[in-house]
A = this chain, B = another copy of it.
Amino acid sequence: MGHRQKVTIKDVAREAGCGIATASRVLNKSGSASAEVRERVETAARELGFSFSAIGRALQGGRSMTIGCLVPSLANPVFAEAVQGVQDVLSGAGYQLLIASSNYDGDADNEAIATLAAKDVDGLIVTMVAPERSAALMLARRRGLPVSLMFHDPIDGFLSAHVDNFAAARDVAQRFAALGHTNTAFLALRFSSSDRSRNRYAGFRAECRARGLPDPVLIELTEAEANTPETLAGILASLGGLTAIFASNDFLAIAVQKATRLMGKSVPKDLSVVGFDGIEIGRLLDVPLATIETAPDAMGRQATHTLLDLLQGKA
């Protein structure tokens, strides 16, 4: 197979017998050019199969037309759907999407931000472990790089597309209370590395207290525990007497449903389970998933629009 060869605008110009500047003008429909030259250049470009090098353009123009996006993991449908939303908006605006994921690791987060910034992205859309404490993120902003947060409650001077985790969680507590539940629990997967999770718990507990109900039990699961329903069932059983569970996300809520069934109980008859996120698949489930609908793809879309607006406003 022939070795990598690129067709540059220089080749087009030579083939068309004109200067580089002229070829550039024709192909970009910027400046003026005679019909005859225009024709020659276009033919040459077509025959050579020319296409612009985004790198050359980026270097010269200072804009890469690329947006960097960092999420914890694409294996979690919430983020995957959000990124799809981002991608939809971006491609409509002629931008490309550079993706990074951290696997919920704070150090990886920082490194990823730095790498994305080095790639000269024009903006950043970010969901990370601790945005408020990320040196890399602060540096990026200080450098004037527009940043849009996704899922995070607002921070400092950052733009943010989000749902009010605290309020939504209070809502759940309210519903539980209305149903007469007093013995409740909050299930979280990575409590320490997710401000979303912490805010949800805070809201949940605050509403319980406001109503004079006992604090919900906080259960932090390891990845392994969450992924083996038998273990999860054991944990739930050991707590005894629970009648309602608020899971920090839909993934977990689904696991709880299964664990409950393993215990010989049924949802929602014996145990109320509510999730968070509203991932697509939840709507198709056999036993419908009760959840807080956050429309992840809309979240991605909005974060992107916000960012794009900022980009326009600055240009």
Per-residue interface assignment for chain A, residues 89 to 103, with 1 indicating a CB less than 8 Å from any chain B CB and 0 otherwise: 001000011111100
CB pair B49–A139 under 8 Å, yes or no, is yes
A31 to B256, CA, bound (A): 59
Residue in B55, B117, B143, B284 whose beta carbon sits within 8 Å of that of A120 in the complex: B55
A106 interface residue per 8 A CB criterion: no
Chain B residues lying within 8 Å of A257, measured Cβ to Cβ, are 286
CB pair A75–B297 under 8 Å, yes or no, is yes
Chain B residues lying within 8 Å of A62, measured Cβ to Cβ, are 4
A182 → chain B closest CB, angstroms: 26
CB pair B87–A80 under 8 Å, yes or no, is no
A199 interface residue per 8 A CB criterion: no
CB pair B75–A99 under 8 Å, yes or no, is no
CB pair A59–B51 under 8 Å, yes or no, is no
A28 → chain B closest CB, angstroms: 14
CB pair B64–A75 under 8 Å, yes or no, is no
Q: In chain A, residues 109-135, which have Cβ atoms closer than 8 Å to a Cβ of chain B? A: 112, 114-120
A242 interface residue per 8 A CB criterion: no
Per-residue interface assignment for chain A, residues 56 to 74, with 1 indicating a CB less than 8 Å from any chain B CB and 0 otherwise: 1011001010100000011
19 examples of A-B residue contacts, CB within 8 angstroms: A6-B120, A6-B143, A51-B114, A55-B55, A55-B59, A55-B120, A66-B98, A74-B74, A77-B281, A80-B80, A96-B100, A99-B99, A254-B284, A254-B285, A254-B286, A258-B284, A258-B285, A285-B285, A285-B286
Interface residues of A (CB under 8 A from B): 1-6, 49, 51-56, 58-59, 62, 64, 66, 73-75, 77, 80-81, 83-84, 87, 91, 96-101, 112, 114-120, 139, 141-145, 227, 229, 251, 254-255, 257-258, 261, 267, 280-281, 283-287, 297, 314
